[in-house]
Amino acid sequence: MKITLRPNLYFGIIFCLFLNSFNSFSQSNSKSLKKAYQDDFLIGTALGTQHILEKNAQADKLIKEQFNAITPENIMKSEVIHPELHRYNFDLADKFVAYGQKNQMYIAGHTLIWHSQLPRFVYKIQSADSLKMFMEDHIKTVAGRYAGKMNSWDVVNEALNEDGTMRPSIFYKLLGEDYIKMAFDLAAKADPNAELYYNDYNIEQPAKRKGAIAMIKKLQASGTKIDGVGIQGHWSINSNNIKEIEDAINEFSALGIKVAFTELDYTVLPNPWDLKGADVNQNFEADPKMNQYKDALPDSVGTKLANRYSDLFILFLKNKDKISRVTFWGVNDGHSWLNGWPIKNRTNYPLLFDRDCQPKKAYNAVMQLKSGQ
């Protein structure tokens, strides 16, 4: 029997086939971290100057496709934004905030008070009153300028030693532990709607975690506003600390605060003396043995990296009700600070995207966890 299609029906079928093909094409080209994890937590990245100024079209496209949260890598640290006592430099910070607003992203400020990357004049301060004046002026000016525009601030960064005691920074030496409460109170006054975080590395480890919990409890008992804790997540593919990470998520969350992973990366290279953490003041001499993959990352190491990220994101999904954000510390491997720390001029591969902004096995492993959902 011969079937004759009416013209309207014929074109309707063709249109439906075209629409299905178009939708399939769009879905295959809309795969992204932020869409895959949109019901779980924010997915962020750290932006360097080239990204803020949109100088790299390939990276810019990747950022906008994959991430819905941004953190400034360096340009809001005090040595950059407040280089002299009575002079601020807001040019790049303004552009960073504008970038986030334009692309409807969560904007995290990093960081208001940190012992490192301070302006030179701060290191010369010798009195408690002068240091208080710096803190008051700095936080009021910086946090105040962006009040209502920032979603969160890393108020105090890396205030603890590995054993959980207070780091002997210039702030601690002149002001004692009270400088932390002072910083949070000043930030809350300057930008009352922003979430306020304490940020540090290795605070998933028991001793340092205990110190962080004690510090947060003191702030809460005093009535100081603290909304969350940032676990940096500078780890090695040769470490297996999943239990410690889960314990940290649960213990920090039990304080009634949010948990964010703020600076996530996995080094694939060895560190001197099995160094752990992210103390930027630690640097070592170059050694060929410490730069094993100068030309390319072996497939077996790429698989190990992918497995580490997969295990980590399985844990994140298990605890998604406690986690507010997961931010990678860099857009791609070429942008990572781990190419220059703790040994300069190395070739590291710690992120989900390679130097050409192409997805790696690690990216596929993280995305695979959400396939079919």
Please report the pLDDT score of residue 7 as a whole number.
46
In a domain, 336, yes or no: yes
Q: Is residue 335 part of a domain?
A: yes
**Is 31 inside any structural domain?**
no
Percent of the chain scoring above 90 in pLDDT: 84
d(CA 179, CA 185): 10
Give the single-character DSSP code of 87.
Answer: B
Contacts of 275 (CB under 8 A, 6+ apart): 282, 342
Instruction: Report pLDDT for 286.
Output: 62
B/e letters for 121-133, b = 16+ CB within 10 Å, e = fewer, are: ebeebeeeeebbe
Q: Among 360, 316, 308, which residue's Cα sits nearest to residue 334?
A: 360
Query: How deeply is 287 buried, as exposed, middle or buried, from its count of CB atoms within 10 A (0-12, 13-18, 19+)?
Result: exposed
What is the three-class DSSP state of 279? coil
- Tokens 């050409």 found at: 356
User: Is residue 276 domain-resident?
Assistant: yes
Q: What is the per-residue pLDDT for 289?
A: 81
Contacts of 215 (CB under 8 A, 6+ apart): 159, 160, 177, 180, 198
Residue 143 lies in a domain: yes
Q: Do 108 and 70 form a contact (C-beta atoms < 8 A)?
A: yes
pLDDT at 280: 45
Q: In CATH, what number is assigned to the domain containing residue 212?
A: 3.20.20.80
- For the entire predicted model, the pTM comes to 0.89
At 74, which helix (H) or strand (E)?
none
In a domain? residue 141: yes
The residues that bridge with 100 in the sheet, in sequence order, are none
The residues annotated as belonging to the active site are 158, 263
How many domains does the structure of the chain reveal?
1
Cβ atoms within 10 Å, residue 62: 20
Q: Any idea what DSSP says for residue 359?
A: B
Structure tokens at 252: 């920090």
Domain with 207, as residue range(s), is 41-348
Q: Which two tokens stand for residue 291?
A: 């730069």
Q: Are 322 and 268 in contact (CB under 8 A)?
A: no
User: Cα separation of 166 and 176, whole Å?
Assistant: 9
* Model pLDDT for residues 122-179, shown as the tens digit of each residue: 999 999 999 999 999 999 999 999 999 999 999 999 999 999 999 999 999 999 999 9
> Does 24 map to a domain?
no
pLDDT tens string for the chain (373 positions)?
444 444 454 444 444 444 444 333 333 335 899 999 999 999 999 999 999 999 999 999 999 999 999 999 999 999 999 999 999 999 999 999 999 999 999 999 999 999 999 999 999 999 999 999 999 999 999 999 999 999 999 999 999 999 999 999 999 999 999 999 999 999 999 999 999 999 999 999 999 999 999 999 999 999 999 999 999 999 999 988 999 999 999 999 999 999 999 999 999 998 874 555 555 455 556 677 889 999 999 999 999 999 999 999 999 999 999 999 999 999 999 999 999 988 899 999 999 999 999 999 999 999 999 985 5
pLDDT value of position 11: 46
Residues 6+ apart with CB under 8 A from 80: 74, 89, 92, 117
Pairing type for strands 152-157 and 323-328 reads: unpaired
pLDDT reported for residue 310: 98
Tell whether 362 is covered by a domain.
no
